[in-house]
Amino acid sequence: MGTCTGGAEHLELTFYGVRGSCPCPSQENLRYGGNTACVALTADGEEPIVFDLGTGLRSFGDTQPLDGSFAGTALVTHIHWDHVQGLPFFPPADRPGARLRIYGPQPDEGTLKEQIDDFMRPPYFPVKVGDLRGEYSFHEVLKDDFQVGQAQVKARPVPHVGVTLGYRVTWHDRVVTYISDHQAPLDLESVAESVLELADSADLLIHDAQYTPAEFAEKSHWGHCTVGYALRVAAEAGARRLALFHHDPSHADEDLDRMLAEAQGTVGPGGPEILAAYEGLRLTF
């Protein structure tokens, strides 16, 4: 994966938030960052696609116009706070004329908009979604294929706590898969068919890698997985590159360095390249 040459469009992916559970900026994690899930995918002449609306969304907003010309799409995996908490702090969409399309999981009860309205209202927050000045549209998906600009998007359910999606975005012949929260089975052996479908031969798989084996033993029902399980998913799916993501808030830079090195040491010939996502990391295709 590198800078694209020839006639294909330039595709770029940037990590703005890489943490799970809660924001946790501190001196101990300055290199990897402390904002929660938000990853932006951009291509020449296309509106941006944003994976999740965590607190990293605010940093993405610093790169976007504030004159009402912003237009983009958000692919939200689920409605836990660490994946939507940045929405009120995204000025580019809070302007007359701006547009933000939000795709997210079809709820068991109510609507996606109602769920977001429930967390973004007094007394929890002083501003309601309806008070924002841009145009916000909500689209419920569960097991759907749809198009965003020139990108083909596949949404599939992923095991987690509550209704949760993973996304596969195909832009021309390049594939990015985003599985931010993934409940691994207790035996850490089997992989859900929906997950393998999303990650099949992906150029980049961004995957939950929150726990060490010891942490998973204590929190096996919390909806996440180990670094080793993320590697299993990537290997079984034939993904070319794996980005460890959704880092635990207790993991300092040195912890993540060690987890990455251990994972890289287990990859045999033909296995995926492994990296650990950090804020500001930019990949070009």
Q: Give the tens place of pLDDT for each residue, 24-36.
A: 999 999 999 999 9
Q: Using an 8 Å Cβ cutoff, are 243 and 207 in contact?
A: yes
pLDDT in tens, 4-56: 333 346 899 999 999 999 999 999 999 999 999 999 999 989 999 999 999 99
User: Residue 207: which of 160, 171, 162, 254 has the closest Cα?
Assistant: 160
**Is 2 among the domain residues?**
no
Q: Using an 8 Å Cβ cutoff, are 59 and 268 in contact?
A: no
User: Residue 113: which of 81, 138, 80, 82 has the closest Cα?
Assistant: 138
* CATH code of 236's domain: 3.60.15.10
pLDDT in tens, 70-129: 999 999 999 999 999 999 999 999 999 999 999 999 988 899 999 999 999 999 999 999
Range of the domain at 41: 11-284
Average pLDDT over residues 157-164: 96
What's the confidence (pLDDT) of residue 9? 67
**Is 118 among the domain residues?**
yes
**Is 30 among the domain residues?**
yes
Average pLDDT over residues 197-221: 97
**Is 101 among the domain residues?**
yes
What's the confidence (pLDDT) of residue 270? 84
Q: Identify the residue whose tokens are 């002083």.
A: 126
Please give the single-letter amino acid code of residue 27.
Q
pLDDT band at 200 (very low <50, low <70, confident <90, very high): very high
Strands 71-75 and 49-51: parallel
Q: How far apart are CA 210 and CA 161, in angstroms?
A: 15
**How much of the chain exceeds pLDDT 70, in percent?**
97
Checking if the pLDDT of 2 tops 60, the result is: no
How many domains does the structure of the chain reveal? 1
**Is 132 among the domain residues?**
yes
Average pLDDT value over all residues in the chain: 95
What's the confidence (pLDDT) of residue 237? 98
Average pLDDT over residues 156-171: 97
What's the confidence (pLDDT) of residue 8? 46
pLDDT in tens, 113-152: 999 999 999 999 999 999 999 999 999 999 999 999 999 9
**Is 6 among the domain residues?**
no
Contacts of 253 (CB under 8 A, 6+ apart): 28, 29, 30, 31, 32
**Is 4 among the domain residues?**
no
**Is 3 among the domain residues?**
no
